[in-house]
Structure 1
Amino acid sequence: MTQATRLNFNQTPGTLSQYARALFAKGSGQKEPQLPSLEAMQTGVRADRNKVIAYADVCGFDSAAAQLPLTYPHILAFPLHMELMLHKSFPLALMGLVHIRNSISQYRAIDCQEKLDIRCFISNSERTDKGLEFDIKTEIDIAGERVWESVSTNLARIGGGAKKVASNQLRPALPQFEMAERWLLASNLGRRYARVSGDSNPIHLFAASAKLFGFKSHIAHGMWSKARTAAALQKKLGSDACRITTEFKLPVFLPTTVELNYNRGEQTMAFDLRDTKGQKVHMKGEIQRL
């Protein structure tokens, strides 16, 4: 078994410089890229209280809470994700990757003042009809105790994947939900979230910058949609220890109005995020007690 290349960081890498590097990272161009064994670590990470408050305000969490929002550790780990994908041995162009799934498990509430040890590494990969899927797993410990972990699945669109099986079947009807709430998303949402998350991918910032990458307009961050959903549903679930899993289906073009649909449950709550006509599902998943 090949030993992993370990990247150790004493300070959090700057995401603006990372995106500058990403714009020029072209990937290897290999038809059958092999993902390297890479991991990145940073110990003793403490969240900046002012940044946590700003993030909570943008994503709908309680900004007065003494604990980190459920999705905030992803923000602390995200610069390490970037370093993995910008490493010289990583064969894929970062700017072409699509975040398609994400699972977050929190085992207890995390106080804003606690010091976190963060480890991220490239995990499973799989060829599909759309390209190459791979996972980045994040593990966060406090004094040796596992308190939070996640799996982010990304897709690199590469030709020559497994053949898609043709189907003449009609699409199944979308599920019915008990509850719904609507959110008005402003045109500047992507820029607001970029300031609090460090994710300054041009596809989220302006219509003009998104069009350079093939989008008709700029789109909301998938992790904003997930965070906003977590903020709405975790308090209804009533548990600090929980798991929220999501599939990102269709982009949310800004500005727009979307609808969060969900079922109430004591242990598990299923949900999806749709357009107001109820025809396009942007994201779906569930949140459950642990």
Structure 2
Amino acid sequence: MATKLDKDQLRGLVDPHWRRLYNFVFRLTLDRDRAERYLADVFTLAANSEKIPADGVEVWLLGLANQLLEERLPRQPEVNFDILDDVLRNEATRTDVVRSLSDPQRDFLLWELKQGCMTSVINCLPPGERAAFVVCHVLKLADDAASKSLGITESAYKVRLSRARKKIGDYLAPRCEHVNPMNPCRCAARVGTALHKGFIKPMGPSGGVVSLRKPQEPYGRYGTGSGNEDVPMRDISAIYGNLPEPDPPEDLGNKLVDQLAR
């Protein structure tokens, strides 16, 4: 039977890792409530384990998270590319909404729409391919660590990753202005629709429905940062590698420790 960890030991387990684990779980679920619940379950499994590894704790925790998600997520995506198109692209463009906004509001909502759409695209993949894409392009793990975290061989991981890249690339390449500025789908023209359908919300303390970024940070037109107003990222890995970490409740780490210590 595992020895119960004291509060300091629990904090040493949770504090260094919970944000990146939340990032992983949220990207695979696109649901903040589920991400918080699943994260608590992952750390419960970890705290009750017979032995916590001395090295490679993050990869071990990601492995626990991936196993839990494989058990709980449906084998087929809960959203698909057709649904995403229907939500964001089946209505006439509405540039009047962007023109009516102040610069901070405009920049924030354009960035919210970009990162929300990109995260939704990931969720159109089957869970296995989704996880491979996230550990590679969002968490930026090396191939050996990524495959270990998913509990598969490195060759199997590369197959999943290749399939995920192709599906995402095939979807974004003819549509998205962030891949090619000449493409027809432009965030400025879709903000009105996204607001109307609740895909994003107006600026507030916690941002939008799919908010991952705090409003005080500079974005640039393509979300590449201040001073890069007209620099589309083009490359899929660069686009996803530049997405900010999710913005979970600041006290979530403390809540996890308190819950585990009961």
Higher helix share: 2
TM-score for both structures, normalised by structure 2: 0.28
Bigger RCO of structures 1 and 2 (CA < 8 A, at least 6 apart): 2
Q: TM-score under structure 1 normalisation?
A: 0.26
Higher share of residues assigned strand: 1
